[in-house]
């Protein structure tokens, strides 16, 4: 990777599970230095720094930038803290990789997006499922097929479990923007053109969340079918059907293909990188380093992220 003969300094805001997973993903990439971390709980930040060889433990975001002079900062904080932390991070001339969700509600996401307008920072959202090896192979193979696509997405959400692990009520009320958006974003990955129509066949009922079923019609002729099972079993899965082949990701980290005229599915051999790291994070980290070097990369900016926020709002439009 050409980093223009310059080390890429990476800093982290947050010290929880995802901050650790990001630190692991950046560790060992050629030309990368893990140069700083800040967390409101300094003891936790010190522990993460020790585990991943991070050079500086800062006392504030301002102190983090002054100590690290980082080229790239990864923000991985709790949902209700994202906007405040993001606003502070925008004051410094680093590239920002913002752990999803970029706002726990559509209003919060819009505020974050609007606050980024006019700033010199490049801001990207860490949508790691876009960087799964399964996703990238399917996208590459689909480039060679022009026929209409039918994209089926099966979502499953358990807000009872979210309550048990102590998620705030405001986050739970907006759970589709916190968690379902990971699945809804697959339509943006695989469906071509612009959205002509969203039909909500089984509508969202916040008073009795059970099944949501929507169809999405695209200007290209592609069709999206979204099914969400709330508070009942149903593993996440995605399938893309064309007249020639069908691709299936179930679980999302795996990929199988069925050719027309063949009954069974054939598994696709994938890179082991998604077994060694939290799936998608290592490839995403490499793309982030490219972004820091001013190179072309496959990261998703806030503008593109807002497209999936908008679609989520259209699907759950009674909320």
Domain's final residue, options 112, 129, 146: 129
Task: Let me know whether 155 and 90 are in one domain.
Answer: no
Task: Let me know whether 104 and 156 are in one domain.
Answer: no
pLDDT at 234: 86
CB 253 within 8 A of CB 130: no
What is the distance between the alpha carbons of residues 73 and 292, in angstroms, rounded to a whole number? 10
pLDDT at 250: 97
The CATH number assigned to the domain holding 146 equals 3.30.360.10
Residues 6+ apart with CB under 8 A from 63: 38
CB 100 within 8 A of CB 278: no
The number of helices, as runs of H, and strands, as runs of E, in the chain is: 13, 14
pTM of the model: 0.95
Domain's final residue, options 129, 162, 197: 129
pLDDT at 6: 75
Does residue 234 come out as left (phi exceeding 0), alpha (psi in the -120 to 50 range) or beta? left
Is 310 within the bounds of a domain?
A: yes
pLDDT at 62: 98
SS3 content of the chain, % helix, strand, coil (to 5): 40, 25, 40
Q: What are phi and psi of 312, to 5 degrees?
A: -60, -40
Task: Let me know whether 119 and 250 are in one domain.
Answer: no
Is 175 within the bounds of a domain?
A: yes
| SS3 of residue 174 by DSSP | coil
pLDDT at 190: 98
> Alpha-carbon torsion 136, 137, 142, 148, what sign?
negative
Strand pairing category for 245-249 and 237-241? antiparallel
Task: Let me know whether 109 and 146 are in one domain.
Answer: no
Q: How many CB atoms lie within 10 A of CB 93?
A: 12
Domain count, the chain: 2
Q: Which helix (H) or strand (E) holds 172?
A: helix 169-173
Task: Let me know whether 240 and 171 are in one domain.
Answer: yes
Domain's final residue, options 82, 105, 129: 129
CB 288 within 8 A of CB 72: yes
Q: What pLDDT tens digit does each residue of the chain (319 aa) get?
A: 445 557 999 999 999 999 999 999 999 999 999 999 999 999 999 999 999 999 999 999 999 999 999 999 999 999 999 999 999 999 999 999 999 999 999 999 999 999 999 998 999 999 999 999 999 999 999 999 999 999 999 999 999 999 999 999 999 999 999 999 999 999 999 999 999 999 999 999 999 999 999 999 999 999 999 999 999 998 899 999 999 999 999 999 999 999 999 989 999 999 999 999 999 999 999 999 999 999 999 999 999 999 999 999 999 985 4
Task: Let me know whether 22 and 58 are in one domain.
Answer: yes
Is 290 within the bounds of a domain?
A: no
Q: What is the DSSP letter of 85?
A: H
The CATH number assigned to the domain holding 62 equals 3.40.50.720
* Residue-range definition of the domain harbouring residue 24: 8-129
State yes or no: cis peptide before 261, omega within 30 of 0: no
pLDDT at 5: 53
Nearest Cα residue to 179 out of 203, 199, 161: 161
Task: Let me know whether 62 and 95 are in one domain.
Answer: yes
């Amino acid at each position: 990777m050409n980093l223009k003969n310059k080390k890429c300094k990476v800093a982290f805001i947050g010290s929880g599970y995802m901050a650790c997973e990001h630190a692991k993903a950046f560790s060992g990439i050629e030309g990368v230095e893990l140069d700083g971390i800040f967390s409101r709980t300094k003891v936790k930040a010190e522990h993460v720094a020790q585990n991943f060889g991070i050079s500086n433990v800062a006392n504030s975001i301002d102190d983090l930038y002054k100590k690290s002079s980082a080229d790239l900062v990864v923000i991985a904080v709790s949902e209700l803290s994202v906007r405040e932390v993001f606003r502070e991070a925008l004051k410094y001339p680093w590239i920002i990789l913002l752990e999803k969700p970029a706002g726990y509600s559509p209003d919060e996401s819009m505020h974050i997006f609007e606050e980024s307008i006019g700033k010199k920072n490049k801001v990207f959202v860490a949508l790691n499922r876009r960087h799964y090896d399964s996703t990238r192979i399917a996208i590459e193979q689909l480039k060679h097929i022009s026929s209409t696509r039918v994209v089926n997405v099966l979502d499953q959400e358990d807000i009872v479990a979210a309550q048990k692990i102590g998620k705030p009520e405001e986050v739970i009320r907006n759970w589709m923007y916190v968690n379902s958006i990971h699945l809804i974003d697959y339509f943006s990955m695989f469906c071509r053109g612009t959205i002509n129509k969203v039909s909500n066949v089984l509508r969202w009922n916040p008073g009795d969340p059970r099944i949501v079923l929507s169809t999405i019609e695209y200007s290209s002729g592609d069709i999206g079918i979204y099914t969400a099972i709330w508070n009942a079993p149903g593993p996440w899965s995605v399938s893309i059907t064309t007249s020639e082949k069908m691709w299936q990701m179930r679980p999302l980290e795996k990929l199988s293909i069925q050719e027309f005229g063949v009954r069974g599915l054939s598994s696709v051999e994938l890179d082991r990188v998604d077994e060694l790291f939290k799936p998608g994070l290592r490839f995403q980290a490499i793309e982030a380093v490219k972004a820091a070097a001013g190179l072309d990369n496959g990261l998703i900016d806030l503008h593109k992220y807002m497209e999936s926020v908008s679609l989520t709002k259209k699907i759950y439009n009674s909320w």
